[in-house]
Amino acid sequence: MKAIIAEKPSVAREIAQILDANNRRDGYFEGNGYCVTWALGHLVSLGMPEDYGIRGFDKASLPIFPDPFILTPRRTKAANSKNYKPDPSALKQLKIIKNVFSQCASIIVATDAGREGELIFRYIYDHLQCSKPFERLWISSLTEKAIQEGFKNLKPGLDFDGLYDAAKARSEADWLVGINATQALSIAANEDVYSLGRVQTPTLALICKRFQDNKDFKQRKYWQIQLQHRKDYLNFASLSNQQWEDKKQAEQILKAIEREGRATVEDVSINNVKEQSPLLFDLTELQKEANRKLGLSADEVLQTAQSLYEKKFITYPRTGSKYIPEDLWSEIPERIRILSQTDPFKRAISTLKFGNFNKRIVNDLKVTDHHGLLPTTKIPSALSASEKAIYEMIVYRLLESLSEHCSKEVSHITIKVHHYEFIIRGSKILSKGWRAIKGLLSDEAYPNQDNTSKNNSDHTQTQQPQLIELPEFKKGDELKISSAELQEKLTNPPKLYTEADLLSAMENAGRHIDDKEQQKALANIGIGTPATRASIIETLITRNYITRKSKTLIPTDKGQKVYDLIKDQKIANVQMTAEWEMTLHQIETKEIDSKQFITDIKNYTNEITQELLSLNIPQENIPEIKCPKCQKYNPIIKDKIVKCPDEQCQWILFRTICGVQLSNDHITSLIKTGKTPLIKNMKAKSGKKFDAFLVLSDKCETIFEFP
């Protein structure tokens, strides 16, 4: 008898059906020589400080370095308590898994084929002190064919020791940094718990710094002159190369140009440009694109893609690669043939050249644990709106990647009036290539992959080539000026991060390092992994460090306060976190040993713990106020609630109301005068925004008063 352990019940059910193990038992399936059971995500995790006899936040206990780490079953918060207790469902399933393992001679690991999936199994295996031999099912989709192929090609469990070592090192490093830094800052602040982490804190620093730069930006006016021309029955415009900060000077130049009435062609540059077809989506690129086009959060995209994967419509979504291996190329025509039979894709597929697909996506060396995202041969039905949108994005990206390059003729014409230069830019498509798939021909439809600002240093606007037909030019031609106008413009502040922008910044963290040698080494190393970046953003939101405002991510007062405390400390260092990600990759490939990494992490943890404990944090000056209900005690003001310390009084006020967190000024005004200042942009359950005052009723409950 062989045991099989999947990550979720739904996957276990699929495997059991294919293997004809259809006898349902409590917590597993049985039959045909197999017992198929499942985990429920992370059933086992690293123990908390109390498991090592350390209760509460104690300065003398820091830093905490468990040796060895203890593994404990998953815990949940007890009702009406701050304490955690073992999760009954986790304990039950662990008992079932232990029973299944004991009945079987060997184990087949069928958890998700990636770092976290490996960790889920190994922690269970170690916690149960199991010593049975195990093999690995390594697949990139859950179709029947993929699972059958996977079982024919099971891999030795030892082949994935490097993957486990990296996962374990990441888990322990996050514990060491997160637990010690959180306790150290909370002790130094002498108030609410401030959660810090190895990846979440540098990510918070990125958001806060961009927000601060945006807020501090001093906008300035400048002027440019635009000229209108007509030649060979075609109308077009030119824009001054120069920008003027003095309006009067610009107006004088405008008058001189109008008097001249003619411009002379100084330089003609016409280039044929080949725009390569885009590569397949990896998870991060899919999240960025869906955030820009659909407004979905990174986590919503991941959950939607995971659902499509479990329904067998797409391949494994938590991939960091945009390529496929050579041996998969032969399957692509069949997938396209099946897709061509469905209405949404018929027209797009008709533009492809069968038998002559572009092989740009094939690269064995650039395929990581999993290849780029692909649709499977199973055509979906009954999808939700978000599933349909994500599925179509993945299919269209495949079709684009198989298409030929797009050819453009890009024109850059320099003309002069007196000694002032003007630029005419134009772009003409010669061959649509991959852009014919969706018929989107403008660059706006395909924003730059790295959506960080590429404007010049003072964030002035630049003229982009337009998809317009231009007449022929040659040096020395004279162009009549039909009209001239002065355009008033404003310099732009650094853009606040959208989720797409933040994912780019996390993915490309290594690019922003000053040291050129280090920048080269870390060029393609980000912070976090494709599989974890969404959860990092959600963690920052859950901990009330950042919030979503329209399409942007901005820090809350609490997030800004944490950033102000740690911005000059090592824990906010994006570069160091990027270097660790590179080290974890080297552990996975067995280039280096994980023990040295953990030693380095302990040294780093010791440094940041001392740094944070030594911070001199001034306490907030909150006015003296009494509980509005009992009028006896000063209320306790915490991050999420304001409450009377008297248990008999039991007055409590939740600080977040309709999506807005009440500031200390709001709370003081409410308690002292019975009414807050006007609070704007609160959000009703329907999603509609509204403005209102909060008022204390006779029973000391909060009610809305509308202006």
What is the tens place of the pLDDT at every residue in 249-306?
999 999 999 999 999 999 999 999 999 999 999 999 999 999 999 999 999 999 999 9
Per the CB < 8 A criterion, the answer to whether 359 and 324 are in contact is no
Q: Binning pLDDT at 50, 70 and 90, where does residue 462 land?
A: low
What would the two tokens of residue 568 be?
């000059």
What are the beta bridge partners of residue 240?
Answer: 422
Q: What is the mean pLDDT of residues 220-236?
A: 95
Over residues 311-321, the mean pLDDT reads: 93
Q: What is the pLDDT, as a whole number, of residue 452?
A: 40
d(CA 162, CA 167) in angstroms, rounded, equals: 9
Tell me what the mean pLDDT of segment 211-233 comes to.
95
The Cα–Cα gap between 114 and 355 comes to 34
Cα separation, 636 vs 514, in Å, equals 45
State mean pLDDT over 162-182. 96
Nearest residue to 142 (alpha-carbon basis) of 315, 286, 5 = 315
Q: For residue 13, what are the contacts with CB-CB under 8 A and spacing of at least 6?
A: 29
Q: In sequence order, which residues have a C-beta less than 8 Å from that of residue 110 and are 6 or more positions away?
A: 4, 5, 6, 7, 11, 12, 15, 137
Residue 343 neighbours by CB under 8 Å, 6+ apart: none
What mean pLDDT is predicted for residues 95-101?
Answer: 97
User: Average of pLDDT values for 213-238?
Assistant: 95
Per-residue confidence at 646, pLDDT binned at 50, 70, 90? confident
Query: Residue 123 corresponds to which amino acid?
Result: Y
* Percentage of the chain exceeding pLDDT 90: 68
Q: Which residue has the higher pLDDT, 622 or 498?
A: 498
Work out whether strand 679-683 and strand 660-661 pair parallel, antiparallel, or are unpaired: unpaired
DSSP state of 251: H
Between the two ends of the chain, the Cα-to-Cα distance in Å is 72
Long-range contacts of residues 502-507, Cβ cutoff 8 Å, at least 24 apart: 502/203, 502/206, 502/207, 502/537, 502/553, 503/284, 503/287, 503/288, 503/291, 503/298, 503/533, 504/288, 504/449, 504/450, 504/451, 504/452, 505/206, 505/452, 506/203, 506/206, 506/533, 506/536, 507/284, 507/533
Domains, the chain: 2-153 (3.40.50.140), 169-215+496-613 (1.10.460.10), 221-276+407-490 (2.70.20.10), 284-401 (1.10.290.10), 636-705 (no CATH)
pLDDT greater at residue 83 or residue 239: 239
Q: What is the mean pLDDT of residues 540-551?
A: 91
What is the average pLDDT across 390-405? Answer: 97
Side-chain-facing half-sphere of 616: CA atoms under 13 Å? 0
**Nearest to 35, CA basis, from 92, 111, 100:** 100
Chain mean pLDDT for the chain: 90
What contacts 24+ positions apart, CB below 8 Å, involve 333-339?
333/357, 334/377, 335/374, 335/375, 335/376, 335/377, 335/398, 336/398, 336/399, 336/402, 338/377, 338/379, 339/375, 339/379, 339/395, 339/399
Query: Does the pLDDT value for residue 453 go beyond 50?
Result: no
pLDDT tier at 505, thresholds 50, 70, 90 = very high
- Band (pLDDT 50/70/90 cuts) for residue 381 is confident
Displacement of CA 152 from its chain's centroid (Å): 36
- Quick one: average pLDDT of 610-632? 80
Window from 120-129, 218-227, 561-570 with minimum mean pLDDT: 561-570
Local confidence band at 517 (pLDDT 50, 70, 90 cut-offs):
low
Residue 581 has pLDDT above 50, yes or no: yes
> Which two structure tokens, joined as six digits, stand for 437?
């798939």
On whether the CB atoms of residues 177 and 605 are closer than 8 A, the answer is yes
Mention every residue, 6+ apart, whose C-beta is less than 8 A from residue 281.
289, 322, 372, 373, 393, 394, 397
Q: Which of the four pLDDT bands, split at 50, 70 and 90, describes residue 383?
A: very high
| Residue-wise burial string across 523-534, b where 16 or more C-beta atoms lie within 10 A, e elsewhere | eebbbbbbbbbb
> pLDDT-based confidence at 449, cuts 50/70/90?
very low
Helices of type H across 435-527: 499-507, 516-521
Q: Comparing 123-127, 190-194, 339-343, which segment has the lowest mean pLDDT? A: 190-194
> Quick one: 291 exposed, middle or buried, by C-beta within 10 A (0-12, 13-18, 19+)?
buried
pLDDT at 440: 80
Give 680 or 27, the one with higher predicted confidence.
Answer: 27
pLDDT tens digits for range 16-58: 999 999 999 999 999 999 999 999 989 999 999 999 999 888 8
Q: Which residues are catalytic?
A: 316
Cα–Cα nearest to 322, from 288, 275, 271, 272: 288
What's the pLDDT at 448? 45
Provide mean pLDDT across the span 377-405. 95
